[in-house]
Amino acid sequence: MSRTEEILEKRLGGGRVSPEDALHLAQEADLFALGRAANALRRKHVPSDTVTYLVDRNINYTNVCITDCKFCNFYRPVGDAEAYVLPKDVLAKKISETVEAGGTRILLQGGHNPALRLPWYEDLLRWIRSSFPSIEIDAFSPSEISHLATLEGMTVLDVLKRLKAAGLEGLPGGGAEILDDEVRREIAPKKLDTAGWLDVMRQAQALGLVTSASMVTGCGETASHRVNHLMRIRELQDEALASHGNGFPSFIPWTMQVETTAMGKIFETRRLLPASAQDYLTNLALCRVVLDNIPHLASSWPTQGEKVAQAALAFGADDFGSTMLEENVVSAAGTTRVKMDADEIRHHIRTAGWVPAQRDSRYAILS
């Protein structure tokens, strides 16, 4: 029996993959052997043929940012002619359209805008909660929370408490990229470090907020960097479940779009290649094998297209992601596709051989 077979057999028997084993799988495992194991493990977490999806909208309330991430074409510097902060009438139209389309959640994400202070965010959340009481509000990535805490001279915990009191229900997992500071210093040196991202999520979970974790591959990272990321997420999940039972319900790996960004020039100089569909599926399956304490794994149709996203359902994923009635950040970098309605998602799930079901942020089935 090969080492790969031994590792996968141990995992299928209920054992835990060590960092050394995970690195071996990342570097040596056959895609289909890893995929078969991931699919079997998916069925341990989600025994039915159900594949879930979420109807939501990703609203970027501002595009002003001072972090200058090398992979981002969306942001504008302070004072730029194209800089904006969305007024409430525009936000109201976007949220109303989401509700009319059967949406149950909005994601509010923006840049690190130094002009927006904590009372502005509190007022925004209270207004949304009073105007649209049925909609879930997941907002502000860990990086945005950390920026706001620094701006106000407050602790992350106090900022989160005030935002929760104003109506915040969850934190999206954006800004994780690769949770290894060697990579983060290269692609986003002004953004919070690995420990900072994990700490914001730790405190959000302790407050009972819904959180998700993500991973962005194809940014020049090594297999070791990827494994470090997965281990740090798994360790935080262990801690969260043991201390208060509110960890990450899901994990979303996707691939960086580098062609039109500053990262594209770095890739050209270093002769690096963007992540392929095979690399994406291999990493997706690895995530399912390593993250034994996170029940749900989402595919990524916006970065991979619907066909690869369908294939991902046989490589460990049990969720097709969300409709994203609006998306600006990934699309600005040159993604495959930026919109898909609920009917299309259900069609793609069914034609891949699964049963579609709409969910909310906590993975409760709605229909």
Q: How far apart are CA 113 and CA 103, in angstroms?
A: 27
Residue at token pair 């399912």: 288
Residue 366: how many CB atoms within 10 A of its CB? 12
Q: How far apart are CA 264 and CA 274, in angstroms?
A: 9
Residue 9: how many CB atoms within 10 A of its CB? 12
Q: What residues contact 179, with CB distance under 8 A and at least 6 apart? A: 194, 197, 198, 215, 228, 229, 232, 233
Helix ranges restricted to H, 84-221 = 88-100, 118-131, 142-152, 156-166, 181-187, 194-206
Residue at token pair 């130094």: 114
- What's the pLDDT at 361? 95
Q: Reduced to 3 states, what is the DSSP secondary structure of residue 278?
A: helix
All residue ranges of the chain with pLDDT < 70 are 257-274, 326-338
Strand 250-255, strand 296-297: pairing: parallel
* Furthest C-alpha separation in the chain: 64
- What's the pLDDT at 253? 96
CA distance to 96, 168, 183, 243, per residue, from 207 (Å): 29, 11, 30, 12
Q: How far apart are CA 29 and CA 274, in angstroms?
A: 20
* Angle CA 213–215–218, to nearest 5: 170
Q: Looking at the DSSP assignment, which residues form a beta bridge with residue 54? A: 322
Q: How far apart are CA 243 and CA 214, in angstroms?
A: 22
- What's the pLDDT at 132? 98
* pLDDT digits 0-9 by tens, 290-331: 999 999 999 999 888 999 999 999 999 999 999 877 655 554
DSSP code per residue over 22-85: HHHHHHH--HHHHHHHHHHHHHHHS-SSEEEEE-EEEEESB-B-SS--TT-SS-B-TT-TT--B
Q: How far apart are CA 94 and CA 325, in angstroms?
A: 9
Q: What is the CATH number of domain 3-358?
A: 3.20.20.70
Residue at token pair 């959340």: 125
Q: What residues contact 169, with CB distance under 8 A and at least 6 apart? A: 136, 137, 138, 209, 210, 361
Q: Reduced to 3 states, what is the DSSP secondary structure of residue 90?
A: helix
Residue 185: φ, ψ to 5° = -65, -25
- What's the pLDDT at 258? 60
- What's the pLDDT at 9? 97
- What's the pLDDT at 198? 98
* pLDDT digits 0-9 by tens, 112-139: 999 999 999 999 999 999 999 999 999 9
- What's the pLDDT at 170? 98
- What's the pLDDT at 196? 97
The tokens describing 163, both together, are 């935002």
Separation of CA 208 from chain center: 18
- What's the pLDDT at 334? 44
